[in-house]
Amino acid sequence: MNRIAAVQMASGPNVGANLIEAERLICLAVDNGAKLVVLPENFAIMGLDEEDKVKLREKNGDGPIQEFLSRQAALHNIWIVGGTIPLMSDDPDKVFAACMLYDSDGERVVRYDKMHLFDVKIGENVESYTESLTILPGDDVIVAETPFGKIGLAVCYDLRFPELFRCMLDKGAEIFAIPSAFTAYTGKAHWESLVRVRAIENLCYVIAAAQGGYHINGRETFGDSMIVDPWGVVLDRLPSGAGVISADIDLDRLSGIRRGFPSISHRKLNIGCV
């Protein structure tokens, strides 16, 4: 078995301050024995407005946020799922929301660009979001081979699209890492249900690392970071505030559940993968 951890934060507009907080929480995770640490969406920048992340965008493979993740992974001899980082695109007004996986040598293994963008109006005059104004969607389904099992990457709003997770399952996924920043309103209604059902229907572990708290830009995120096993059991969770949760990944248990309850092989429809 391997110990894994999810970090929960309430990031603000100051990248330096966010990285200091992320480093503190990564150290807590390492002290708890974690060999894989998942950071939340927007861990390094939650700007005062959506354009702030565009101003702070980095080149692919070069920049202080990416250097931070590489350094932390190598320093602590751990694997890190780096939440999301704003990376340059061909459009000067838009970025990719890139989720990076780094190995214990500090080398980047894979990059996943958030596929589904949060363009919604919530409730009657509650909140509205239009991520597509500043973010370009990705189109690649990513699953990576790791010492902990095969990890599929998804980000926040992706959680609502089960076909993405089926595609990752068909690529061999055993674990889903889902950096997120759910709103307080939608999180209260749907967060736990979505996280647990993605684990149950795919018989996979889910590591859901969330933003959780009040942000300087006036936004409130739901938190409730969770680690869920393939039977839908919540192994650890953090309802609110900054902190770390951890649990053991047991691939023998996963294999046993899949053998005894072979719902994956009972599927009748093939939706095809992106």
Find out whether 234 and 227 touch, Cβ atoms under 8 Å: yes
What is the arithmetic mean of pLDDT over 113-130?
89
Catalytic residue among 21, 41, 58, 131: 41
Q: How confident is the model at residue 272 (pLDDT cuts 50, 70, 90)?
A: low
Sequence-distant (≥ 6) Cβ neighbours of residue 48 within 8 angstroms: 13, 216, 217
Indicate if 156 belongs to the active site.
yes
Q: How many of the other CB atoms lie within 10 Å of CB of 173? A: 25
Catalytic residue among 99, 156, 167, 204: 156
Give per-residue pLDDT as tens, 47-86: 999 999 999 999 999 999 999 999 999 999 999 999 999 9
Q: How confident is the model at residue 236 (pLDDT cuts 50, 70, 90)?
A: very high
What is the rounded distance in angstroms from the CA atom of residue 16 to the CA atom of residue 11?
Answer: 11
The residue among 58, 50, 57 whose CA lies nearest residue 132 is: 50
Find out whether 87 and 98 touch, Cβ atoms under 8 Å: yes
Indicate if 59 belongs to the active site.
no
Look at strands 149-153 and 175-177 and give their pairing.
parallel
Could you tell me if residue 99 is left (phi over 0), alpha (psi between -120 and 50 degrees) or otherwise beta? beta
Indicate if 204 belongs to the active site.
no
- pLDDT the model gives residue 270: 75
3.60.110.10, 3.40.1190.20, 3.40.630.30, 3.40.50.300: CATH of 2-258: 3.60.110.10
Give per-residue pLDDT as tens, 125-162: 778 899 999 999 999 999 999 999 999 999 999 999 99
Return mean pLDDT, the chain: 96
Is 0.85 surpassed by the pTM of this model?
yes
Tokens found for residue 225: 């970071």
Catalytic residue among 53, 94, 114, 131: 114
